[in-house]
Amino acid sequence: MRLALTEVADPGKAPAMQAYMKSDMPFLGVQAVARRTALRRTFAEHPLGSAAEWRETVLDLWREAEYREERYAAIELTGHRLYRGFQTVSTLPMYEEMIVTGAWWDYVDDLAIHRVGGLLSAFPDTMRPLMLEWAHDGDLWKRRTAILCQNGFKAATDTGLLHACIEPSLSDTGFFARKAIGWALREYAKTNPREVVRYVDHMGISGLSRREALKNIPPVDLSRYDSRPSASP
């Protein structure tokens, strides 16, 4: 795996990539398109025969990574088309480890939206209470995952679950919690802007989260949806 990545690396780009990501782990200097092309070829040449072997390979890549792109490779392996049938609730502990130990947005957001979200969509009865637990967890990145896992669900969004996952983090003044709240609401506003405006006003959400949540609703629509009483003349 590392050889495939090294062959398409541009070491001259590695320092800037590391600085942008504020990463302690170094980069090889592999751009996203080149990385995905190299990994598709490598994954096709080395198929994995069972769910257990797949999970073991993913976690070996993750735990033994010396460069950040190797962890990106582990995430891409989790979503490879050959292993769609392995996406069951039993994979959640693997994702949990990757989220908690990765502890940064470039890892966590991909896992939250495309892996944990997929499990929630496929197994809502089991996953819903687990996401409620994560929403109250002391780990920021598990809370962020619970907030973001329905991004892209559109009309299928479980609004009650979205609100229940947001509310434990409303008192968190940190950037990554506030940004996640705003982003999740902004995504849902594409489907139901009236509900998002009502919720933001009702909960008194302000600052970064409010700006993010209402970013794509034109001002004329905001006034139409605004649920607050008008000021007295």
Question: What's the confidence (pLDDT) of residue 223?
Answer: 58
Tokens of 72: 């990106």
Question: What's the confidence (pLDDT) of residue 2?
Answer: 80
Question: What's the confidence (pLDDT) of residue 59?
Answer: 98
Say if 65 falls within a structural domain: yes
In the chain, what is the greatest distance between 2 CA atoms, to the nearest angstrom?
Answer: 72
Question: What's the confidence (pLDDT) of residue 28?
Answer: 97
Counting the structural domains of the chain, the total is: 2
Q: Are 129 and 210 part of one and the same domain?
A: yes
Q: Are 203 and 137 part of one and the same domain?
A: yes
Q: Are 77 and 119 part of one and the same domain?
A: no
pLDDT along the chain (233 residues), means of 10: 91 97 97 95 94 97 97 97 96 98 98 98 98 98 98 97 98 97 98 96 96 87 54 33
Question: What's the confidence (pLDDT) of residue 219?
Answer: 73
Question: What's the confidence (pLDDT) of residue 218?
Answer: 82
Say if 97 falls within a structural domain: no
Q: Are 60 and 109 part of one and the same domain?
A: no
Question: What's the confidence (pLDDT) of residue 231?
Answer: 37
Say if 91 falls within a structural domain: no
Say if 95 falls within a structural domain: no
Q: Are 116 and 1 part of one and the same domain?
A: no
CB contact set of 145 (below 8 Å; sequence gap of 6+): 99, 108, 111, 112, 116, 131, 134
Say if 98 falls within a structural domain: no
Q: Are 79 and 109 part of one and the same domain?
A: no
Q: Are 153 and 50 part of one and the same domain?
A: no
Say if 38 falls within a structural domain: yes
| Residue 148 structural domain | 105-228
Q: Which of 58, 86, 114 is the last residue of a domain?
A: 86
Question: What's the confidence (pLDDT) of residue 222?
Answer: 61
